[in-house]
Amino acid sequence: MDNRKLLKTGIAGSVIAAVCCFTPILVIVLGAAGLAAWIGWLDYVLWPALALFLGITAYALWRRNAQRDAACCATDISKQNR
């Protein structure tokens, strides 16, 4: 997966999971839809989802920095060989 796409996915998922965790948006939506019984189970889904998406974001940032370092080292080595 492309680093940009991976980073966008991680950030978007983290924001959505954080908004759903820390605001009553899902409680209102599920209550209005007649699915209020699911409200008790939200923490079992949203916290792991938030951790997963934060992990994806961290991995994408790590990969981006690793590729920058590799590109930097590759240009430095080529300059030294001249």
Q: Three-state SS string across the chain, please?
A: CCHHHHHHHHHHHHHHHHHHHHCCHHHHHHHHCCCHHHHHHHHHHHHHHHHHHHHHHHHHHHHHHHHHHHHHHHHHHHHHCC
**pLDDT tens-place string over residues 38-82:** 888 887 888 899 999 999 999 999 988 887 767 666 655 555 555
* Residue ranges covered by each domain of the chain: 3-80
The answer, as to whether pTM is greater than 0.85, is no
Residues 6 and 74: their CA atoms lie apart, in Å, by 24
**pLDDT tens-place string over residues 25-39:** 778 888 888 888 888
